[in-house]
Amino acid sequence: MNEFEFDTATSVADGDAAIHDGWDIGGNANGGYLMALAARGLLQASGRPDPISLTAHYLSPGRPGPVRIDDEVVKAGRRFTTVSGRMHRDGTTLLQLVGAFGDLSQPLGRYEHLASGPPELPPFEECTPRTREQGNVEVAMMDRLDVRIHPDHLGWMRGAPRGVAEIAGWFAFADGRPLDTLALLMVCDAFPPAVFHLDMPPGWVPTVEYTVHVRAVPAPGPVRCVFRSRFVQGGFLDEDGEVWDSEGRLVAQSRQLGLTPLG
């Protein structure tokens, strides 16, 4: 038994793991949770402490139950170990992955240039908790997370979308589990889609591909997040995320390629 729910739900032993109940949206496990679960297996294979860049393709919905996580170390280099992997069950691949793992405890370089800073947000307590209820879908994972959304970024819930596909807020675990580099994989997929702010027909936004770059080890405390979709066209959409820690450092960047609702 682990002290925290996220660690229990992402435990992997020799490639054996399970998609745990309660990390889902309408019955299908959240993509960030699935990535973190698979990443735990790949991390173990890499022998490194931190995911640096991880890409997942989502091939089948993740229902609760046992899964296998296969890994293949492609190269163990000086700085990084590259691992290819997959999560599968009964002959069906759920996720196909490739990632680079390394050690972020010391910076690899000193030069710094940040074109912008963390998103402007009211304090954690003044933002609005994301709840289990989201339209007619039940977001069960919100029992495990403490996601607080910028109060100005909730118009879509009242049928008044902003017309700008951007959503910002805070992330913490409900049980107080500290954030680490593995958790950042989950953070990057824990918010409602930024495209809910558009006048797009509503519905499920399936992820084709999702890449997270973990940029630093987060300092203690909740992280500030912002997600933006800039280009919705031809049935596809992007969603870019930034995650900033309590010391104002960029700790993760993400990008998803998704599909517009098929409805």
Contact set with a second copy (CB under 8 A): 52-53, 55, 57, 59-60, 74-75, 77, 80, 82, 84, 86, 93, 96-98, 100, 104, 107-116, 164-165, 195, 198, 200-201, 208-209, 211, 213, 215-216, 228-236, 238, 249-250, 253, 255, 257, 259-260, 262
Residue 110 or 158: the one with the smaller Cβ distance to a second copy is: 110
| Least distance (Å) between residue 45 CB and a second copy | 14
Task: Provide the residue type at 20 as one letter.
Answer: H
| b/e per residue 149-160 (b: at least 16 CB within 10 A) | bbeebbebbeee
* CA contacts within 13 A on the Cβ side of 110: 0
Residue 112 or 125: the one with the smaller Cβ distance to a second copy is: 112
Residue 1 or 116: the one with the smaller Cβ distance to a second copy is: 116
C-alpha 245/C-alpha 2 separation (Å) is 25
Task: Provide the residue type at 181 as one letter.
Answer: T
Residue by residue, DSSP assigns 61-79 as ---SEEEEEEEEEEEE-SS
Position of tokens 């912002």?
Answer: 226
| Least distance (Å) between residue 238 CB and a second copy | 6
| Least distance (Å) between residue 181 CB and a second copy | 12
Residue 219 or 232: the one with the smaller Cβ distance to a second copy is: 232
Task: Provide the residue type at 223 as one letter.
Answer: V
